[in-house]
Amino acid sequence: MTVTLTRSTPAVTSPPPARVRRRGERSRLASIAYHATMITVSAVAVFPVLWVVYMSFGDADAWANPAEILRSPVTSNYGAVLRQHDGFLTWLGNSLVVAICTTLLGVLIAATAGYALSRMRFPGHRPLMWTFLVTQMFPVAILIVPLYNILSTLHLLNTYAGLVLTYCTISVPFCAWMLKGYFDTIPVEIDEAGRIDGCSPFGTFWKLVVPLARPGLAVTAFYTFLTAWGEVAYATQFMTTPDRYTLAVGLQTYVGQFKAEWGAMTAASVMISAFAAAVFFGVQRHLVSGLTAGAAK
């Protein structure tokens, strides 16, 4: 009897299929690199703010040895700033008057101009749009001298009205362009329905369109407020007496050629930033909806 031996051939196994990543899914290495980059960028952005807050709790010699602040932080800088005669509180009042008036006047002009550009066609329609755009290209240094001459001729130097009008030249062109794009997203049929009901063009704008445009108005109002709140160049040149200084100009008095009150300056900077942050958190709901409404409609 013959026995035949055969060698069994091992079964060939195919490699497991490569895992396909879903859209937006990163590898572990890419995810680590991404988060490391974001953490680094965030730290760079936040560090100056935290440093100013930290130094505001130091004494007069804190800049020479910042580590001493951790051992003995002080709050006297804030009290000294608030108690200063004709100082911080005066500048705060001036800034509030200028910022609020600029916001009200600037948003009113920008809203009416943006609505007219969005809904109406009149001679000079396109040149007006380009004029709003071109005015944003001029740096502040070029405009200081002509604006100074204009305000001097009108006797508006060292006045709230002169500074408000100056700030409107900064905010209105940008806000008009922004609101024009927002008004474009509101259906024209709403305007037609208002006219059928007997509303005038301004009545249609005020009663029907403005309530629908509140998110866009909130964005432009906040931009205008910050423009007037933190502007330095125009206020420095056009406000000539200490009783009319705004906060941005008043901060410069803490650091001069023969003195440097860094503690007072950092404390005042923190309070100014805190007020602006409070305004932001108060309107952030409208800001978010206003920035995203144009893309959602």
Same domain, 35 and 93: no
- Which are the contacts of 50, defined by CB distance < 8 A and separation ≥ 6? none
Same domain, 157 and 290: yes
Whole-prediction pTM: 0.79
Fill in the amino acid letter for 292.
Answer: T
pLDDT at 20: 59
pLDDT at 160: 94
Total count of domains within the chain: 2
What are the pLDDT digits (tens) for 207-249?
Answer: 888 888 888 898 899 889 999 998 999 999 999 888 899 998 8
pLDDT at 22: 66
Among 282, 283, 276, 284, CA closest to 96: 276
pLDDT at 163: 94
pLDDT at 3: 52
* Distance separating alpha carbons of residues 94 and 119, to the nearest angstrom: 37
Same domain, 43 and 160: no
Phi, psi of 195 (to 5 degrees): -70, -35
Same domain, 112 and 181: yes
Question: The domain containing residue 149 runs over which residues?
Answer: 85-296
What averages of pLDDT result for each successive group of 10 residues across the chain (297 residues)? 54 58 71 91 92 85 77 84 80 93 94 89 82 83 91 93 93 90 88 86 87 87 91 91 89 79 86 86 68 45
What are the pLDDT digits (tens) for 121-160?
Answer: 888 878 888 888 888 888 888 899 999 999 999 999 999 9
pLDDT at 297: 42
Same domain, 61 and 197: no
Does residue 16 form part of some domain?
Answer: no
**Residues 193-229: b if buried by 16+ CB within 10 A, e if exposed:** ebeeeebeeeebbbebbeeebebbbbbbbbbbbbbbb
* Distance separating alpha carbons of residues 57 and 75, to the nearest angstrom: 6
* Distance separating alpha carbons of residues 227 and 1, to the nearest angstrom: 106
Task: Please give the C-alpha separations between residue 233 and each of 151, 214, 246, in angstroms, as whole numbers.
Answer: 15, 31, 11
Choosing from 54, 74, 94, the residue where a domain stops is 74
**Sign of the torsion angle spanned by Cα atoms 265, 232, 99, 171:** negative
Choosing from 14, 48, 74, the residue where a domain stops is 74
Does residue 167 form part of some domain?
Answer: yes
Residue with tokens 């952005």: 45
